[in-house]
Amino acid sequence: MKHTKCYIPGYPRPQFVRNDWVNLNGEWAFAFGEEVSEEEALKGNLSRKITVPFNYESELSGIGDTTMHHTVWYSKKISGKSGKRTILYFEGADYDTEVYVNGQMVGTHRGAYTRFSFDVTDRLVNGEGIVTVKCTDQDCAAQVRGKQRWEKDNFGCWYVQTTGIYKTVWLEYVDDIRLSSLKITPEISTNSVRFDLSVNKPSRDTEVKIRISYDNKPIRTASILACDNENSITVRLESESLTYQLETWSIWHPALYDVEIEVVESGRVTDTVGSYFGFREYTAKNGKIIFNNCPFYAKLILDQGYWQRSGITAPSEEAIMDDIRLSKEMGFNGCRKHQKNEDERFYYYADIMGYTVWCELPSNHWFTDASTRELTREWMDIVSQNYNHPSLVTWVIFNESWGVRSINTNEKQQNLATGLYYLTKSFDSMRPVVSNDGWLHTKSDILTLHHYEQDAEKLYYFYDSLKKLTEGDNCNSQLAPFAEGWHYEGQPIILSEFGGTHYANTEGWGYGSAVKTDDEFLARFGSLVNAVKKMNISGFCYTQLTDVQQEVNGLLREDRTPKVPTEEIAKRL
C-alpha cells in the first residue's frame, strides 16, 4: 500500500492537506442538557468527561448511555498561534450545532454528515480560549438521519441514534491569504486535468502555483492569477514538446498523481496545500458499466460503517483500512456505503487501495417542504466534499423511497428525485447518479433492484429476462422498477441488495430462513451469487459486510471476525 505524498497519519481531510494543525480528539468536558444551565455551560463548567470523537451513546465515548438526550454540551481549552488565523473544524456533529469561544458565539451549523468550520481567532484572549459546543438533536423522522432510530428502542433496520460530535475535531493555523476551495477534474480523453479553485481574498497580486508529480517524478507545473472568486485552469500532461504515458487509476492499479499548490501574494508564499488525483472514467452507457473504456462487472458489498463499540465512528484509522482490506480479501471490488457519509479517510484508503465506492445520501423518512430544503443542502455539501476522490464512482440519492414514500404517483416527490439527479449532474458530470435505489426510479443512470429471496432458483426466475428486470413481474413481490411516467432507457442494471442470510444460532434477524452450519451458509451464498451472475446485468451488491446491532446478516461479526473463512467467500464470487 503506497501513500500519497501529502499523507499525514490521522489528518482528517486527506484531499486538502496542510502541515500546521492540531488534533483536538481526546478528553473533553461534557454534560447532558438537563444537567447544566447555559450560563454554567458557557463557562466550561460541565460535570462529566467524554472521549471525542465518539458520541455519548457509544462505549468508546466513556459514557455508553443509549437513552435519547436532546441536548448535549462539550468544552475544551484551545490555543492559537501568533501571526496565524486559527480555524476550528468539525468533521461531523449531529444535528444542530452552536459553537462558542470564551462565551461568545462564533457560528452555527445544521446537519449531521458534512464538515464545517469557523475562524475563531478574534474570540481568543491572549491566544487562548475555551471552546464550548452545544448540540441539539431530535427524534424526528423528517430529519436527515440515515439508519438512526427515531423511536425509544431499535426497530427493523434502524439502530441507536447518534447525538453530538462523532467525528474528529481539529484546529488549523493559516495565513490571512489562503486557498479556500479546490475541485479537481481529470479527463483521460484529453490527457488533462482541470483545477477549479479559489482563495479567500482574490486579487491581481495573488498567484496560485500548481506542481504535478507521479511516483516522486515532476510531471507538469502551471500557475494562475487568483483574481476572481472562482478560478479555473486546465493542465495538459501532454504537449508538442512532452510525450507522457498516462497512468490510469483502477482497482488493479490505483495510480495517483500528487499535487502541491502554493498561494503566492506579492512574492510571498502564504499557503501550501497538498492533494492528489487519479485518472479514471466510470460511466453508464449502452447498457453497461464502463470503467476506463472497458466493461466492468461490479461486485459490491453493502457497508453500513457501524462498529460494535463506537457506532458510526471508526475506532481508528487502522479500522477503516481493515474494512477495505477484508472486503477485497473476500473478492469484492467495491462497496455501497449505505445511509452515511463516511469519514473522508475511508475514501482516501479506497483511493490508494483500489476500491470503488458508491456514496449515498442518508435518508430522511417523512416528506416535508422543510426536509426537502435540508436534504438538498446537505446532499450538495456531501457531493462537494467528496468530489475529488477517484474511488467514488456513483452517487445514490434516495434508498427504497425513504423520505419519498409516495414517489410512484406523487408529482412533487418525483420532481424532488429528478431535480436532485440533475442538480448532482450539474456539479459532477463524471459519475453515474441513481435517483431511488431499489425500485420506483425516476431519471437514473443505473437501474438498481433489491430482492432478498433466499432460494436461488426463485431469485433467478424473478429476473431471467430483460422484461422482468425492467418492468417487473406479477410473481415478483418487489415494487416496480420505475415510478409512473418513467420507463427503461437502456441503463445498466445492478441487483444492489440481495442475500442477507443469517445464522440460526445468532440472536437478531436476517432475511429468509436461517442457516445452521458453515457449509449450509456457503452453499446458499454460492447459489445466490451464481443465480445473479446468470442474469443479464452489470453487477450486484451483497447484503452485508458486518452484523449491525440487531441485524445479524453480515459476512463478518460486529467485531470484524469472519463467520466463514474469507477465502471461501472469495471462491464463490
Please tell me what DSSP assigns to residue 361: P
| CA trace torsion 398, 399, 405, 406 (10° rounding) | 60
pLDDT for 220: 93
| C-alpha atoms less than 13 angstroms from C-alpha of 157 in its C-beta half-sphere | 17
For 254, other C-beta atoms within 10 Å of its C-beta total: 21
Ramachandran region, residue 74 (left: φ > 0; alpha: ψ -120 to 50; beta: rest): beta
- Check residue 314 and report its DSSP letter: -
Give the model's pLDDT for residue 467. 93
The alpha carbon of 154 is separated from its chain's Cα centroid by a whole number of angstroms, namely: 23
Residue 544, preceding peptide bond in cis (omega within 30° of 0): yes
CATH superfamily of 179-277: Immunoglobulins (2.60.40.10)
CATH superfamily of this structure's domain 25-167: Galactose-binding domain-like (2.60.120.260)
The pLDDT assigned to 200 comes to: 94
Give me 464's grid cell: 431471467
Report residue 158 CA to chain centroid gap.
Answer: 19
Helices (H), 343-483: 344-353, 369-386, 411-427, 456-462, 466-471
The owner of cell 452489470 is 538
Question: pLDDT tens, 180-238?
Answer: 999 999 999 999 999 999 999 999 999 999 999 999 999 999 999 998 888 999 999 87
What's residue 243's pLDDT?
A: 60
Q: What is the pLDDT of residues 138-152, one digit of tens each?
A: 999 999 999 999 999
CATH topology of domain 296-572: TIM Barrel (3.20.20)
Positions of the chain with pLDDT lower than 50, given as ranges: 477
Q: Is the pTM of this model over 0.95?
A: yes
Dump pLDDT digits (tens) for 392-419.
999 999 999 999 999 999 999 999 999 9
Three-state DSSP at 522 gives helix
Measured CA to CA, the distance from residue 563 to residue 568 in angstroms comes to 11
Predicted local distance difference test score (pLDDT) of residue 18: 98
Residue 248 to residue 482: CA distance in whole angstroms: 35
Spatial neighbors of 197 by CB under 8 A, at least 6 apart, are 179, 181, 182, 183, 208, 224, 226, 230, 231, 232, 261
Give the list of residues 6+ apart from residue 230 with CB closer than 8 angstroms, or none: 196, 197, 198
Q: Give me the residue spans of the domains in the chain.
A: 25-167, 179-277, 296-572
Beta carbons within 10 angstroms of residue 343's beta carbon: 23
Among 310, 360, 358, 320, residue whose Cα is nearest residue 339: 360
Contact 497, 451 (CB under 8 A): yes
Neighbours of 530 (CB within 10 A): 12
Nearest in space to 341 (alpha carbons), one of 493, 197, 162? 162
Name residues whose C-beta falls within 8 Å of residue 89's C-beta, 6 or more positions apart in sequence. 12, 13, 115, 116, 117, 168, 169, 170, 171, 172
The amino acid sitting at 236 is R
The letter for the amino acid at 216 is N
Q: Three cell numbers at 325?
A: 482490506
